Structure 1
Amino acid sequence: MSPLSWNLILALIWAAVTSNFSGANLLVGFVLGYLILGFALRDVPDFARYRKKVPGLFLLLGHFLRDLVVSNLRVAYDVLTPTHYMRPAVVAVPLRAKTDGAITILANMISLTPGTLSLDVSSDRSVLYLHVMYLDNEDDLREQIRKLEDRVLALLE
């Protein structure tokens, strides 16, 4: 069984023991399970790889949540003010991700943030086409997408 499976089982056991299946309590159980597995499986090669991926997952989620909040605030500000600051554009962003899974995760995370939408992927999977509501600087946008792609690729390697 994989270390992730063990970690999820330990999180569920924690939630059952505390009789609280809330998201926060499951997260606490996941972290406690991760620490327990870190101690119990410190010499197992599969866990060494897993140990590096869990912090990457939390970094990716933190990065995504920050982008989500910032983009929500920007769209809300534009809706609530009398003048519109939109500068819509379609932008081609080069991709380094080549697998369907990595491209799908990246495109969905982009589409979930207000003000951006993934339109299409080129047939050779080298370019992702995005519609953005607020294009301040095309290079900055590409840099933001590259950072998000780096985190996704690090998690899926």
Structure 2
Amino acid sequence: MRRGTDLPSRLLRRTLRIMRFAGYFAVQLVQANFVVVREIVTPGSGLCPAIVRIPLRARTDGEIVWMVLFVGLTPGTLPLAIDRPAPAMFVHGMHVHDETAFRLRLATLEDRLLSALRPATADGRQSGPAGDNDRG
């Protein structure tokens, strides 16, 4: 098979992955806004601030910048710093009642972001390291 013949299908798959991520992030954004609005309307009801280190699978500067951008856009979270030797992000969360759940939420965001950003191989799987970094 010639390489150029599958270009339209790869573009379609990538477009769909980007649209799926946009939909996922829109839902997360609405949910986070609801939590923050509830906190404003009923002050002091649920604050549990924490700073959490989140290991990243993102490897390129671009992937890391996109991750920082989307975490920063989410109400109730604030990216504080990036640790570069083994990529990790320090994130302040306003409502970290369960640190494991908070980490999982951000890991899911990163997984979906990387799925949208990274090109797929010919068989439709994601290129690049899929699980090369233990999140624990």
Shared fold by TM > 0.5? yes
TM-score, normalised via structure 1 length: 0.69
Structure 2 unaligned blocks of 5 or more: 119-136
The code of the aligned residue for 2:106 comes to I
1:94: Cα distance to partner?
A: 0.6
TM-score, normalised via structure 2 length: 0.79
1:82: Cα distance to partner?
A: 4.2
Structure 1 unaligned blocks of 5 or more: 1-42
Paired residue for 1:108, among 63, 69, 85?
69
Cα contact 1:98–1:125 (8 A) shared by 2: no
Where relative contact order (Cα < 8 A, 6+ residues apart) is larger, the structure is: 2
Paired residue for 2:78, among 107, 117, 136?
117
Cα contact 1:93–1:129 (8 A) shared by 2: yes
Paired residue for 1:80, among 31, 41, 46?
41
The question of 1:143 aligning with 2:104 is answered: yes
Which residue in the other structure is 2:53 paired with? 92
Paired residue for 1:62, among 23, 37, 44?
23
Structure in which a larger fraction of residues adopt helix: 1
1:118: Cα distance to partner?
A: 0.8
Rounded to whole Å, the distance in 2 between the matches of 1:155 and 1:83 is 37
The count of corresponding residues between Structure 1 and Structure 2 is 115
Give identity over the alignment, percent. 32
The CA RMSD over aligned residues, in Å, is 1.4
* Bigger CA radius of gyration: 1
Cα contact 2:55–2:88 (8 A) shared by 1: yes
Rounded to whole Å, the distance in 2 between the matches of 1:82 and 1:154 is 37
Distance change in 2, residues 1:82/1:127 (3 Å): closer
